[in-house]
Amino acid sequence: MNRLPRLVSVDDIAAGVRRPAYRPEDHAAGIVHLGIGAFHRAHQAVYTDDALAASGGDWRIIGVSLRGTAAADALNPQNGLYTLIERGEGEASGRIIASLDRVIAATRKPGAALAAMTDPAIRIVSLTVTEKAYGIDRAAGGLDESHSAVAYDLGDPRAPSGVLGLLVEALRLRREAGTPPFTVLCCDNLPDNGALLRLGVVDFASRVDPGLAAWIETSVAFPATMVDRITPAVTPAALADTARMTGRDDQAAIETEVFTQWVIEDHFPQGRPNWEAGGAIFVADVAPYERMKLRMLNGTHSMLAYAGFLAGHTLVRDAMADPALSALVTRHLKAAAATLAPLPGIDLTAYAASLAARFRNPSIAHETYQIAMDGTEKLPQRLLQPALVAMEQRQDIRPFAFAVACWMRYCLGRTDDGVAYALRDPREQHIQAALARVDTRDPAAIAGTLHALPGVFPAP
C-alpha cells in the first residue's frame, strides 16, 4: 500500500480542511509550554492559533516534553503542524494548527528547555503537566520534598529536570541577565492553580536563594486559569480520518469535542496573545468558574469513570448508555451544583445538562480507565471539598460518598472476575502495601485504610 506523504506544509492540504489564516513562518515564538500533550494541543494551542490569525504577533509556542520523546518525534518532522479533529454528534471537521513552533525533548537535549525559557523573546511559560508532576504539598502550600523531581532538583538546582526546578532556575538566570520575568500560566486542574504554583515556586526558590524567592514573589505573575475540553487518547479511527481529510500522513493528529472553554485571570505584565479571538474569557477572579468545573464536570467524570470501569464499560459514552449510571450522573451533577454559589451569567441547571450531553457524545471515545488515573491527586478538589461544603450546608452527601466508595473499590486493583489492572496513581505502591495488610472483603477495613493515607482526606 502506498504511504501518504507526510504533513509538512499548510500549502498542500486537501480541500475541506481548515488551514491557518496566517503564515506560521512570519511569527516567532513567545511562549514556552511545559507538557506538550494532547490536551494542550486541543486547547491552548488552538486559542493561540486563533489569536495569531486575528491579531498576529510573535506568539508561537515552543513545546517541552519533560519525560518522553514521542511528541518531538511526531511533531518536529512536521514543522510543528498537526490536524485537530473536532467531533460533535454529526460529521467531524478538521483543521490544521500552526501555532506550535517546535518541540524540545528534555531528556534528549539537556539544557535546551532552560535555554528556551531564558530567551528574552519568551514572555509566557505555560504548563499542562498533570497534577502529580508539580511536587507541591497542597495541604501545606509548599514543596513535597518526597517528590522525586523535587528532591533531585534541590540536590542540583543548576541542572533541573522537574517543573519547579526549571521554573526557578530559568527565573534566576533571567534575573541575573536583567531580562524581565516571564508570566507563569498554569493550565492544570488544580484549585487556585496560579496561587498554588506561586507557593511551590517561591518555596523551592527559598531553599536555593532567599533573595531570589523574594524577587519571584513580588515580580512574577502567576495568573489563575480554568480550562475545559474533553480530549481522549487518539485512536486508529482518528488517524484514518485525518489521512482521509487531509491527504497527508499526520503522526501528531488529535481529536476532541467541539466544546471548549478557557477562563483566565488577566494579569500578563509582558503581554499576551489575543486569546479572546478564540473565545477565551478574561476575568478578575477565576475561582468561582474553577469550582464549578472541578465539582460538576471533573467530579462527575471521576465518579462515572470509576463506576463505569468497574461495571465493565470501556468508554464514557457507553457508561452513559447504562440507565443506572446515567441516573447517577444526573444525581451527582445536581449535588455538586448545590454546593456552588450563584455565578453571574451561568445557569447551573443548563450547565449540568450540557455536561451530560458531552459525556454522551457518541463521537468521542474517552476511556474510563484514562480518566480514573491519578485518583489521589484528583479526589480532594473534585469530591472531598464539595462533600465538606455539603455537610456544612446540611445537603445530601450520598452522591459524594458513593463516588469515593467507587474509587476505594477501584483501589483493589482487580475486577469482580479477578482481572488485575494497574491503578496508575502516584501512590499506587503505598495503596497496595496498605491494603495488603487488611481483609479486603471487609468494606470498613478498606475505608479505614484508605482514609489513613496522608494528605488525601481532610482531618476529622
Residue range 160-173, pLDDT digits in tens:
999 999 999 999 99
Q: Name the nearest CA neighbour of 217 among 233, 206, 232, 228.
A: 206
Q: Is the pLDDT of residue 344 over 90?
A: no
Report the pLDDT value the prediction gives residue 142, as an integer from 0 to 100: 83
Q: In terms of domains, do 253 and 346 share one?
A: no
Average pLDDT for the chain: 95
Of 268, 283, 298, the residue that ends a domain is: 283
Q: In terms of domains, do 321 and 279 share one?
A: no
In a domain, 120, yes or no: yes
CATH number at residue 185: 3.40.50.720
Q: In terms of domains, do 444 and 381 share one?
A: yes
The pLDDT of 393-410, averaged and rounded, is 98
3-state secondary structure of 441: coil
Task: Find the angle CA(116)-CA(264)-CA(342) to the nearest 5 degrees.
Answer: 160
DSSP assignment, residue 18?
B
Report the pLDDT value the prediction gives residue 123, as an integer from 0 to 100: 98
Q: Is the pLDDT of residue 331 over 80?
A: yes
Q: In terms of domains, do 168 and 295 share one?
A: no
C-alpha cell at 325: 449510571
Q: Which residues pair with 339 in a beta bridge?
A: none
First-last CA distance in the chain: 64
The predicted-structure confidence for 55-90, as pLDDT tens digits, reads as follows 999 999 999 999 999 999 999 999 999 999 999 877
3-state secondary structure of 32: strand
Other beta carbons less than 10 A from residue 309's beta carbon? 23
C-alpha cell at 205: 526558590
Half-sphere exposure of 13 (CA within 13 A, CB side): 24
Domain that holds residue 321: 287-451
Q: In terms of domains, do 270 and 131 share one?
A: yes
Of 265, 283, 301, the residue that ends a domain is: 283
Q: Is the dihedral of CA 158, 168, 186, 63 positive or negative?
A: negative
Q: In terms of domains, do 228 and 332 share one?
A: no
Contact 32, 113 (CB under 8 A): yes
The predicted-structure confidence for 409-427, as pLDDT tens digits, reads as follows 999 999 988 999 999 999 9
Q: Could you tell me the pLDDT band of residue 2, with boundaries at 50, 70 and 90? A: low
Q: In terms of domains, do 327 and 424 share one?
A: yes
Placement of cell 528556551 in the chain: 116
Other beta carbons less than 10 A from residue 414's beta carbon? 12
The predicted-structure confidence for 43-52, as pLDDT tens digits, reads as follows 999 999 999 9
Of 283, 299, 315, the residue that ends a domain is: 283
- Alpha helix (H) residue ranges in 65-156: 70-75, 112-117, 148-155
C-alpha cell at 311: 461495571
Q: Name the nearest CA neighbour of 304 among 382, 250, 239.
A: 382
Q: In terms of domains, do 108 and 231 share one?
A: yes
In a domain, 6, yes or no: no
In a domain, 35, yes or no: yes
The total number of structural domains that make up the chain: 2
Q: Name the nearest CA neighbour of 246 among 23, 91, 15.
A: 15
Please give the full DSSP string across 197-228, using - where no structure is assigned. Answer: HHHHHHHHHHHH-HHHHHHHHHH-----EEEE
Q: In terms of domains, do 219 and 232 share one?
A: yes
Contact 238, 255 (CB under 8 A): yes
Q: Is the pLDDT of residue 141 over 80?
A: no
In a domain, 125, yes or no: yes
In a domain, 4, yes or no: no
The pLDDT of 110-138, averaged and rounded, is 94
In a domain, 456, yes or no: no
Distances (CA, A) of 114 to 10, 24, 46, 111: 30, 24, 25, 5
Contact 253, 235 (CB under 8 A): no
Encoded amino acid at 189, one letter? N
Q: Name the nearest CA neighbour of 272 among 57, 42, 16, 429.
A: 57
The predicted-structure confidence for 273-302, as pLDDT tens digits, reads as follows 999 999 999 999 999 999 999 999 999 999
Q: What is the edge-to-edge ordering of all strands in the sheet holding 281-283?
A: 225-228, 261-265, 281-283
CATH number at residue 373: 1.10.1040.10
Q: What is the edge-to-edge ordering of all strands in the sheet holding 93-97?
A: 93-97, 82-87, 254-257
Q: In terms of domains, do 311 and 246 share one?
A: no
Q: Based on the number of CB atoms within 10 Å of its own CB, is 307 exposed (0-12), middle (13-18) or buried (19 or more)?
A: buried
Q: Which residues pair with 105 in a beta bridge?
A: 65
Report the pLDDT value the prediction gives residue 314, as an integer from 0 to 100: 96
Q: In terms of domains, do 299 and 408 share one?
A: yes
Q: In terms of domains, do 319 and 195 share one?
A: no
**Has this prediction a pTM greater than 0.85?**
yes
The predicted-structure confidence for 426-456, as pLDDT tens digits, reads as follows 999 999 999 999 999 999 999 999 999 998 9
CA distance 97 to 20: 7
